Amino acid sequence: MPELKSRLLQALIAIFGVLTIVFFIMRLSGDPTLLLVPDGATAEQIAALRHVLGFDRPLLVQYGAYLLDLARLDLGQSLVQHAPVAGIVAERIPYTMALAGGALLVALGVGLPAGLAMAVWRGTWLERALAGFVLAGQSLPTFWSGLLMILFFGVYLGWLPTSGSDDLASLVMPSVALGAITMSSFARMTRIAVLDELSRDYVAAGRARGLSYGAVILRHVLRNAAIPVVTIAALEVGNLLAGAVIVETVFAWPGIGQLAIQSIASRDFLVVQTIVLFVSMVYISMNLLADLAYGVIDPRIRRDR
């Protein structure tokens, strides 16, 4: 498959581009030396530490050294935590996956039925109400809606833990907060896909054979409409991974988003670069898979994106 080969090559180029952009932006934002010295340090002490850490070398030299390490699969040491970066980031990935999974579940669980209902009861007040509902989920800043959720479900009702990551119950609120942001795009995709299917001949044929409208939808329409929706879901996973910065901060969820923000704030370069590397690899491979899957499922679709 020469097609696949060129796609893989392009994916590699994109990842290389990500690394380069993030490397140079990070370095331009200043080095962490000042954050590592105590308040009373003298200029000489600071210069000495900067030298030891290698931040006084020309940027291109540092870039080359970074790429060399990367080629040897060495992600380096965190300057703040004095521990290997690979471990620091890897420890957070299960949390990030759990949150992304939970959010996806919420988004699909609400978005799919809502989209279906919006298509079936097209043009009614129900459609408008549902459209308003799913859009409402993404129209509030999470740092506020998340806090209101904590106060209501955590403090007032006492149903859910107010923070933390030790059990399934503590995953509920962050998942809802994050899932609410994406559910409208699922609802919209489902609605369009179902409308598309409803206009096809087999629906009328099924009805003519005496099948009920509900049966046609359940047996045929949904199955066919699922394809584009699943594709969107695959693409959303990339966004859910590190887009959860604020949700993670508010709910004290230890995912890579929170780690990334903290590492930017402490200029822990290698941690940030590793996180971005991870996210972009997931995103690009999801993209690739979705494209390929699309082509396999429906050969009429030309890959032109």
203-222 footprint of another protein as x/- string (CB under 8 A)? --------------------
> Which residues in 251-290 contact another protein (CB under 8 A)?
251-252, 254, 257-262, 264-267, 272, 275-276, 279-280, 283-284, 287
The rounded Cα 69 to chain-centroid distance in angstroms is 27
Separation of alpha carbons 137 and 184, rounded Å = 8
Q: Of the candidates 177, 179, 188, 233, which one interacts with another protein according to CB under 8 A?
A: 188
DSSP string, 221-241: IHHHHHHHHHHHHHHHHHHHH
> Which is closer to another protein, CB of 21 or CB of 289?
21
The size of the interface with another protein (CB under 8 A), counted in residues, is: 104
Nearest to 115 by CA among 138, 100, 135: 135
Work out the angle at residue 101's Cα, subtended by the Cα atoms of residues 98 and 105, and round it to the nearest 5 degrees. 140
Residue 211 CB, shortest distance to another protein, in Å, is 21
Residue 233 CB, shortest distance to another protein, in Å, is 16
Q: How far is CA 87 from CA 70, 81, 268, 275, in A?
A: 15, 11, 14, 12
> Which residues in 74-103 contact another protein (CB under 8 A)?
80-83, 88, 91-92, 95
Applying CB under 8 A, which part among 60-68, 100-108, 163-171, 289-297 lies near another protein? Answer: 163-171
Residue 299 CB, shortest distance to another protein, in Å, is 19
Residue 143 CB, shortest distance to another protein, in Å, is 4
Asked if residues 240 and 103 have their Cβ atoms less than 8 Å apart, the reply is: yes
User: Whose structure tokens read 């503590």?
Assistant: 170
- Residues contacting 253, CB < 8 A, separation 6+: 95, 99, 165, 170, 174, 244, 247
> Which residues in 5-44 contact another protein (CB under 8 A)?
10-11, 13-15, 17-18, 21-22, 25-26, 28-30, 32, 34-43
121-150 footprint of another protein as x/- string (CB under 8 A)? -x-----x--xx--xx-xxxxxxx--xx-x
Q: Of the candidates 239, 271, 290, 291, which one interacts with another protein according to CB under 8 A?
A: 239
Where is 50: in which H helix or E strand?
Answer: helix 43-53
